[in-house]
A and B are shown apart, each in its own frame.
Chain A
Amino acid sequence: DADVTQTPRNRITKTGKRIMLECSQTKGHDRMYWYRQDPGLGLRLIYYSFDVKDINKGEISDGYSVSRQAQAKFSLSLESAIPNQTALYFCATGTESGANVLTFGAGSRLTVL
């Protein structure tokens, strides 16, 4: 099994729908992140959490929310999806001592019609 598992891997939805992307990890890492990748824009940070009680906005948090249900679980929600949220979403984990060596999931491709 993968160290960082993202579900669903692919999702097509319609404008206005609520969507949740889930991430679970078996690394035992405290830190979890959600990134978004768009063609030509690289990876941009949406939200991050350094422990279960810690949630922080990244550079593009508008339109998104997150929940850290447990150390191993970090979910990303789109309350009302819009077409420009069509992207590839990555969850990642890390540790305080890990010097930004992150472990990424395989990605969740979201298409909003």
Chain B
Amino acid sequence: GENVEQHPSTLSVQEGDSAVIKCTYSDSASNYFPWYKQELGKGPQLIIDIRSNVGEKKDQRIAVTLNKTAKHFSLHITETQPEDSAVYFCAASLTGGTSCGKLTFGQGTILTVHP
């Protein structure tokens, strides 16, 4: 089955700096890569996703890049703010057919943004 590795496990930055979280996946057939943000005591919430036919996607201060050849994808947060502090999870999935959208998650990154 799919295996997703996420690094780093913790990341501490100063407000205004950029933050980068990286994930690798093992199944070359995976074609959907979402990123979730989880705040304390809440369920994960989707912040951005990318599909395999796209190399990069941006939404304001958040961007995701995908390298299918190397089987890795990254989350980039620019101009970080204290409210970006949370746990971030990457995930991978094979969509289409009978896959039913089963997500395999990375281990998570605790991001702390210091004012």
Q: Are the chains A and B members of one assembly?
A: no
Residues of A within 8 A of B (CB): none
